[in-house]
Structure 1
Amino acid sequence: MPAKRFGFIRLRHLLLLSLVVVTALLVSFLRLDERAWFWLKEGQLSVAEQQASIWLPGYRLVVQGRPLAGLERDETSGLTYNPASDTLFTVTGKNPQLVELALDGQVLRRIPLSGFSDPEGVEVISGGRLAIIDERRRSLTAFTIDADTQSLDAADYPSFDLGFADAGNKGFEGIAWDALNQRVLLGKERGPLGLFSLPFPGEDGAAGTLQALPSKRAFVRDISSLSFDARTGHTLVLSDESRLLLELDAQGQPVSFISLIGGLNGLHRSIKQAEGVTMDAAGNIYIVGEPNLLYVFSKDAPVELPRQVD
């Protein structure tokens, strides 16, 4: 066989092998095999089962990458809906702040945070209080605010040590309030990845201990945010690395999912570093992703003409 032809065949084999390896790595990284299996299972759910769930395949994108004006350099993380004010709250890590947003993404106010090292999640819990989890300090701090609140200092409020002292930058990022069971749900990013519950009824801190919840079938590589839907008792799990929003039932079993990859589900571009998710009273789903962009998914709202975001 001529050397030139042999070299061509060898190159073709190497390219084919490289393609196989890259495909295998991609399947492993995004866990596409599990996702494909579940997609087939998801399609077998009855209409009644879909109606009893959040049912993410029924959502469509209505706001695509709306910039949060003034927060471009602040690295938003976490998101929660406050039914009392019909507004959203997020936190920023680089310059610690609690930020209140209108549902359309307009920044309403910014409250400086003292004594917080790396706030990663925020949630409205019982009694209208807010709770912030600090990943670096491995703590949960609960407090109340009103229209006159100008600043917050962690030293002025009770905090709960979440443990995992060696977690480093792989600690707790997701937080949600389970109003049905009066407990906080927590998502540990990874190393190991997991869901936990924490009874938190009192003004003086947490009662009870951190408890692991079943989540072995949650086919995601990390957990960046959580949201609980009291209407169904199901939990939304946001994964940045998997580019996925997943719905889990009360037993921690997957129910439905939606991909956050560009070109799918109305997204022009993938949601980069999806860091926060929440649902409002009408069931609309809000996601914040860096560089501080707001995305909204809805089952009923009219579609907004999507704007291109570079």
Structure 2
Amino acid sequence: MSSLTLHPDKLRHPFKRAYKRFRKPLRCALIACAALLVAHQTNIDDIAYRQLAEYITPAELKDRSIWLNQYHIDGQPILLDNITEISGLTWSSDTQTLFAVANDPPRVVEFKPDGQILRIIPLKGFHDVEAITWIGNDTFLVADERRQDVGQVVIKADTQTLDRADSPIVTIGIGAGRNKGFEGLAWHPESQSIFVAKERDPLTIYRIKGFISESRNNLEVSQDEGLNKAVARDNQDLSGLHLDSRSGNLLVLSDQSSLLSEITMDGDIISSIDLGWLPGTGITQAEGVAMDDKGDIYIVEEPNRLYRLTKKK
């Protein structure tokens, strides 16, 4: 029986011809993959989106909204001396200062916009405070993540400590005891209601009416389907809230998504900013957001960094 013998060089010829034929498309594909990788690493897609949104959005909408597309980090991050485990953040128009909550041990920290610490107020009886919001007249709301409750406290110029036993408390308690509870608070003065952000599992924003009243007998806890759909669209979790009284829109902060979004009460996403894209290393563990009377935005990053974002002029 005869046998057929092929020389190894002849076996390689078809592959050489195939390589020559597809060499150009292969190079184009490799270049495209590299470009996508660079875009992912440098957030070129986010830059392009922001530029497009800036171009096509009517000036009227920009004027009546917060319009995050025009914000940038002002200066370097500020280290808050001797503070760790910082979380929720709020601005007080009474004192023109910022208030944050921190744990280990639970406490409220008051500081100036430049990061100068003014005082530290121990929180007696509180366990895992993760959010704070100012509602006026030296009055604040604080949220306990694991207990999933909200307490009302008064912080005056001479306040040295705050006791849970002296505070009105409202408990929602859905999945209480888990470390995926309340992470954000926002106050809506017109409706006298509180927006409460549950971190995830499920990611939800609750609305509480009737808590800021003398009787508190007619508490109403609800969820807005449109708002929660919008919040869940781009966010893996929730880590902070702020309600802008001028536009009526919510600032929604996500730590895991490195995202700050502006969302209307009807669930329309107006603008957003990718915090990981910001110059430097970006903001990697955002835990609280607030806005002052001038419109400057402040974000705290765990363990103790403060960022200020201002609008480009």
Does the alignment reach a TM-score above 0.5?
yes
Q: Distance in 1 between matches of 2:216 and 2:81?
A: 35
Q: CA deviation at 1:233?
A: 0.4
1:216 aligns with one of 229, 245, 256: 229
Q: Distance in 2 between matches of 1:122 and 1:85?
A: 15
Corresponding position: 1:162 with 2:172 = yes
**1:308 is matched with which residue?**
none
Q: Are 2:279 and 1:227 aligned?
A: no
Say yes or no: does 1:123 pair with 2:133. yes
Query: Are residues 1:52 and 2:64 paired?
Result: yes
Q: Which runs of 5+ in 1 are unaligned?
A: 10-15, 302-310
Cα distance in 2 between the residues matched to 1:64 and 1:99:
21
Could you tell me how far apart the structure 1 residues matched to 2:93 and 2:214 are? 20
CA drift of 1:246 comes to 0.3
SS for the counterpart of 1:223 is coil
**Structure 1 residue 226 displacement after superposition:** 0.2
The Cα shift of 1:300 comes to 6.0
Of all paired residues, the percent bearing the same amino acid is 39
Whether the 8 Å CA contact 2:295–2:310 is kept in 1: the answer is yes
Paired amino acid for 1:202: S
* Letter paired with 2:206: F
Indicate whether 1:114 and 2:127 are aligned: no
Structure 2 match to 1:306 = none
Offset at residue 172 of structure 1 (A): 1.2
Gap runs ≥5 in structure 2: 1-10, 20-28
Instruction: Give the whole-Å Cα distance in 1 for the aligned partners of 2:47 and 2:268.
Output: 13
- Whether the 8 Å contact between 2:70 and 2:312 is mirrored in structure 1 is no
Give 2:293's match in structure 1, choosing from 262, 281, 293: 281
Q: How does 1:1-310 map to 2 (within 5 A)?
A: 44-71=56-83, 74-166=84-176, 168-199=178-209, 200-203=211-214, 205=216, 207-213=218-224, 214-218=227-231, 219-261=234-276, 264-265=277-278, 267-299=279-311
- The letter for the 2-side match of 1:185 is F
Residues in 2 aligned to 1:206 and 1:76: alpha-carbon distance in whole angstroms: 34
Please give the alpha-carbon distance, in whole angstroms, between the structure 1 residues aligned to 2:46 and 2:220: 32
SS at match of 2:165: helix
State TM-score, norm by structure 2. Answer: 0.80
Using a 3 Å threshold, how does the CA distance of structure 1 residues 38 and 191 change in structure 2: closer, same or farther? Answer: farther
- Find the aligned partners of 1:293 and 1:175 in 2 and give their Cα distance: 20
Number of corresponding residues: 280
> Which segment drifts farther, 97-106 or 124-133?
124-133
> How much has 1:42 moved relative to structure 2?
6.8
Report the 3-state secondary structure (helix = DSSP H, G, I; strand = E; otherwise coil) of the residue aligned with 1:125.
Answer: strand
Distance 1:207 1:45, change over 3 A: farther
SS of equivalent residue, structure 1 residue 210: strand
Distance 1:128 1:283, change over 3 A: same
Paired residues of 2:152 and 2:168 also in contact (CA < 8 A): yes
**Shift of the alpha carbon at 1:228?**
0.5
Higher normalized contact order (CA 8 Å, seq sep 6+, divided by chain length):
1
1:44 to partner: Cα distance: 2.7
1:296 Cα deviation after fit: 0.2
Give 2:66's aligned amino acid.
I
Taking the aligned partners of 2:267 and 2:156, their CA distance within structure 1 comes to 35
- 1:132/1:140 contact within 8 Å kept: yes
Using the TM superposition, give the Cα deviation of residue 128 of structure 1 relative to its aligned residue in structure 2, in angstroms: 3.2
Normalising by structure 1, what TM-score? 0.81
- Structure 1 counterpart of 2:7: none
- Structure 2 distance, partners of 1:136, 1:206, is 24
- Which has more helix, going by share of residues? 2
- Alpha carbons 2:129, 2:142 under 8 Å: kept: yes
Q: Deviations over 1:218-266 (max 9, x none)?
A: 31111100001010000100100010100001212100001111xx34x
Letter matched to residue 212 of structure 2: P
